[in-house]
Structure 1
Amino acid sequence: MDWILRPEHAPHRVFEREEWANLRADTPLTLDEADLARLRSLNDPVSLDDVVTIYLSLSRLLNLYVAATQELYTATRTFLGDRDGKTPFIIGIGGSVAVGKSTTARILKALLGRWNNTPKVELITTDGFLYPNAVLQGEGLMERKGFPESYDLPALLSFLSDIKAGSDKVSAPVYSHLVYDIVPGERVTIDRPDILIVEGLNVLQTPRLPRDGRAVPFVSDFFDFSIYIDADEADIHRWYVARFLRLRETAFRDPNSYFHRYALIGEVEAIEIAERLWTRINLVNLRDNILPTRPRADLILRKGEDHRVEEVALRKL
């Protein structure tokens, strides 16, 4: 496949589905069908077999990484003479719209929170750090929503910095997909987690570096491990349109929905609108901003046309 370099030159080692499944070792399955039904996103048909084959091995890998990283943090605190404090392990999950980031994030949160030592695992999406619609409209950015410039990057960096410093009760804005906007005055609080999962379109994005060498922090600077959910462009396109049509029959029917107008039109017109939104906005964001970050991930989950993860690429140490 042309999605990664030749094996001898590539920064990642590629595993086929069954080969990756064998790395599960004795990691127990702690989810059942009822759990999975609550964790699935709309139009993402992840199965319990996918959990066993892909996510249990990933859970085992992360368990090892967290333990090793915490030892490193402890050594650093010892060197600095800091006796107290806890440094959360932060996992970033990126990829296109409709590719299954939210399902992956929720499955990992559930699995990681059920380890024998039962760590405190929290999940946050970068949607909460989008500028409010009023700001985006004022700047002419409503059709760039989800692009890097539509996020309040200083606020996101400040949030992650406070989390990494071990601060207690760090808060973030709340985004509503129903009203397609930040909820005024509403905050979510993250209180000293052992593991924080950060999910979003552009979490692996890097800004242009200044020529004078000034420090420019990236969101991914705060990650201890990063995951990119990958698939062929044509498959993501198809999943996006199918999800739009499902939403038209479900969430869009709520009169309070920002997209309620799409529930009142015929299917042919709805498909035309979904195609335009994909081509004009989401495809551009994928090609220009999201896909170029794929090589930066520590782990790439490559999906096939049926949403199943067919290959896993793990960065070589």
Structure 2
Amino acid sequence: MSKLESRYLNDLVVKVRQELSRDNPVIIGISGNIAVGKTTFAKKIVSVLDKEFSDKSINLVCTDSFLYTNKYLKENYIFNRKGFPESYDSALINDFINSVTSHQRVKVPVYSHKINDISEVKNTINKPDIIVIEGLITLRKPLNDLISISIFLEADEEDVFEWYQNRCYDSINYVSANYENFNNNIYNIWVEVDKLNYQKNIEPTRNYADNILIFNDVHELVDVKDQLVNQGGINHAVCN
């Protein structure tokens, strides 16, 4: 962990401690491009918070869990739009929001990256003190209305594509003889689906993050841009 990252996480602990004085749970939202490192960084935050607030209930939620099942996406001819706003179950998201804000227990599906689909496992969120939410739609409405502290992760596009490519290698078995075709398919999906979704639906939410965290090609935090604009408080995202 770099000195900058350690300092940022320490500052985050201070912010969380301040927010814990409020009635509602503290909700940290993390967004950014696909494969930029949202899940890894979210887990780091949870680990730090677990140590600092051992008496508090802390949950990690990935917005992939709000995706429709692959079966539903295929039946409704939007499987190739997976990750776009229309591929998420808005009723499930609203139920999650209503449960959290009314301090009720809610069960959230768990997305499995092994099968790239919603699994049969459920994650129970029961009156948490702190929730870390990470994913593509975290800073979009309606989830953004929940966020107490918002973070956007960023890196050079070439680096993000390489990380994306490596993720594909790890998750899909391919025959070495079809290596070129496999790479071409990855690139085409990146350009036609993921890059398009990022430019249209994810990158615009960058402007509404409290902090933009910039990483280099080895996932080291190298810069933090502070975008707090409301004196004495957090700048909540207002993005459709």
Q: Shorter-normalised TM-score: what interval?
A: 0.7 to 0.9
CA contact (8 A) 1:95 1:290 kept: yes
Q: Mapping of 1:46-61 within 5 angstroms? A: 49-50=1-2, 52-54=3-5, 56-61=6-11
Runs of 4+ in 1 over 6 A off after TM superposition: none
Gaps of 5+ in 2: 232-240
2:89 corresponds to which residue? Answer: 152
C-alpha distance in structure 2 between counterparts of 1:183 and 1:194, whole Å: 26
Structure 1 position 288 matched with structure 2 position 200:
yes
2:135 equivalent in structure 1: 200
Q: What is the distance in 2 between the residues matched to 1:162 and 1:141?
A: 28
Q: Which residues in structure 2 correspond to 1:1-317 (within 5 Å)?
A: 49-50=1-2, 52-54=3-5, 56-73=6-23, 87-115=24-52, 117-167=54-104, 169-184=105-120, 186-206=121-141, 218-245=142-169, 247=170, 251-253=171-173, 262=174, 266-316=178-228, 317=231
Question: Given residue 4 of structure 2, which amino acid in structure 1 is its aligned partner?
Answer: T
Q: Deviations over 1:26-77 (max 9, x none)?
A: xxxxxxxxxxxxxxxxxxxxxxx33x431x323322322223223343xxxx
Q: Conserved in 1, the CA contact under 8 Å of 2:154 and 2:215?
A: yes
Q: 1:191 to 1:137 in 2, by over 3 A?
A: same
What is the letter of the counterpart of residue 176 of structure 1? S
Structure 1 residues without counterparts, runs of 5 or longer: 1-48, 74-86, 207-217, 254-261
Could you say if the C-alpha distance between residues 116 and 236 of structure 1 is closer, same or farther in structure 2, counting changes exceeding 3 Å? Answer: closer
Larger Rg: 1
User: What is the aligned partner in structure 1 of residue 235 from structure 2?
Assistant: none
How far has the Cα of 1:144 moved from its partner? 0.5
Letter in 1 for 2:155: A
Is the Cα–Cα contact under 8 Å of residues 151 and 211 in structure 2 kept in the other structure?
Answer: yes
Q: CA offsets, 1:86-105, max 9 Å, x none?
A: x2111111111110001000
Mark the CA change 1:139 to 1:68 in structure 2 (over 3 Å): closer, same or farther. same
Q: Letter of the aligned partner of 1:243 in structure 2?
A: R
Aligned equivalents of 2:166 and 2:221: distance in 1? 19
Look up the SS of the partner of 1:67 in the other structure: helix
Q: Structure 1 length normalisation: TM-score?
A: 0.67
Q: State TM-score, norm by structure 2.
A: 0.87
| Equivalent position SS for 2:206 | helix
Looking at structure 1, the residues matched to 9 and 52 of structure 2 have their Cα atoms a distance apart, in angstroms, of: 9
Distance in 2, Cα, partners of 1:289 & 1:116 = 34
**Identity level (%):** 32
